Structure formats: C-alpha cells, structure tokens
Amino acid sequence: IVTGGGSGHLPVFTGYVGEGMLDACAIGSVFASPSVDQIASAIRNGNNGNGVLCIIGNYGGDVMNFEMACEIVAEEGIKTKKLIVADDIASASLAERVKRRGIAGMIYIFKIAGSLAENGKSIDEVFELASLANENIRTLGVALSPCILPEAGKPTFEILEDEIEIGMGIHGEPGIKREKLRQADPLVDDLCERLLADIKLQSEDKVSIMINSLGSTPLEELYIISKRVIENLSKLKIKITRSHVGRYATSMEMAGMSITVLKLNDDLQKNLLSNSKC
C-alpha cells in the first residue's frame, strides 16, 4: 500500500507507514506533489511481488504524477492499482463525487487497505473493499484562520477574527460559505445536517467518526465537537462503532476542524478494528 502528497499535513503521510497500514509514501514540498521519480521509488519499495495499491488524494498534481509513475513501474513488471480518495463534500456535488477532494477520510482507507494487505488478501481484493470504503466516507470541515506557507511567508487566505468558513479546503480552497462565528453546538448541527444529507444514513446503521484538528485547534475543543456529533447521530439511532478525536490530517497551523463519517458494513468494520493502529 503506497501513498503520497505534499508536506504540511502531518501526520499525513509518514505517520501512517507501518505494520498494518502503509508500506511506503512519497513526500513533496509543502502543499506540492512529490515528483514522478519519488513516487516510482516509493512504489518499488512497497512492492513485494503481488502488486501495489496506490491511494491518492484527489488533487491534479498528485493524480497526474502517480499515473505517470505507475506507467513507469509497469514497464518493470510491477502491477499497480490506483484508488482516488474523494470525501470532501464541500468541493463538489453528490452527482459529481469523482471531482471531490480527498482529505481526512483517506486515513480510513489507509487502515482498511493496510489491514487487508497485512492479512494476505490479493491486490484486487484490497482494491475492492477499499473502494467500497471510499464510496461510504464523507468529510466536511471549517476554518477559522489560515496557515502561512514557508516559501511565501504570507497567509494562504484572509478571514476576519469573527468569521468562519464552512468547507474551506486544506490548502485554502474556497468553501461553501463564510459566516459569523457561531457557538459549537449550532455549528456542528449544521455540519451534521449537511453530512447526513449526503451520505443518507438510516436508523441502526453503523459508522465510525473522526473529529480532526486542522492544526492549531486543541484537543479540548475537538471533544466539544465530538460530543455534539455523537448526540446528533444517537438521536437518529445510528450506531457509532469507533470514534477518533485528534490531529489526523492537518494543514500546517490552520485553526479549524473537520468531521468525517464512514458508513460501515461487517467487512469494513472488521478491517477497521483489526490490530487497530489508527
């Protein structure tokens, strides 16, 4: 299992290399795709003769460079499959899901695919269940402050101290709307309503949730968010199998957070919880 992308999103990507997770990753400069050569090298290092699944966030440079790298290693006899993560509901409509950005939801893909591979499943079997997970992940985030790129030395976007942007991308891409800062509970209610409308959960469905800091938002505030998300889902009798709260996919020192929901079936749940390192 191999992935890659720009730096600045710690612990993505290096933090997920290890037993039962990723085998290798390629890292570019801050918010920039790794080169084709770097990706090809990561694929070679991750290859054990049974093929390599490349898990890619849906960003133009990453997708293009992975495609070229896969063509290069194919000539060396290495079989690859590409899975493009697209979980950010703010970046495209449900009808155009393939255009959505890949953000914190990719962590779930790393875990499920890594568990399958660790247990000896074929690349086709890993790809099939990882693809099912990808279809059942939704993420929506908010930003309160920008980050500063080291090379540029200036914020990636501007936002007032009393404002918040719903759906802001992890590189500063425009979100759904900008509004005055609200208290946590009504804000989370809004985000949950948007997420549930997109994923269409029903009573007794099983999910895992991830409350992720975009960088500078502290753990204490994330638990306030988590409590309200759990209350919203519990009212609908949706069963939360596992909740994750912390810094899983950041954007330098950006203030903000994202909520990710993964709808589970038995196979997804088994591999998500298997020897869990996430």
As annotated, the active-site residues are 9, 171
- Tally Cβ neighbours within 10 Å of residue 270: 15
Structure tokens at 91: 């970046």
DSSP readout, 184-225?
Answer: HHHHHHHHHHHHHHHH---TT-EEEEEEEE-BS--HHHHHHH
Q: What does each C-alpha distance from 114 to 53, 84, 133, 163, 229 come to in angstroms? A: 10, 16, 13, 39, 27
Distance, CA of 20 to chain centre: 17
To the nearest 10 degrees (0 to 180), the angle between helices 123-135 and 106-118 is 150
**Under DSSP, is residue 107 helix (H, G, I), strand (E, B) or coil?**
helix
Instruction: Round to whole Å and give the CA distance between 22 and 216.
Output: 26
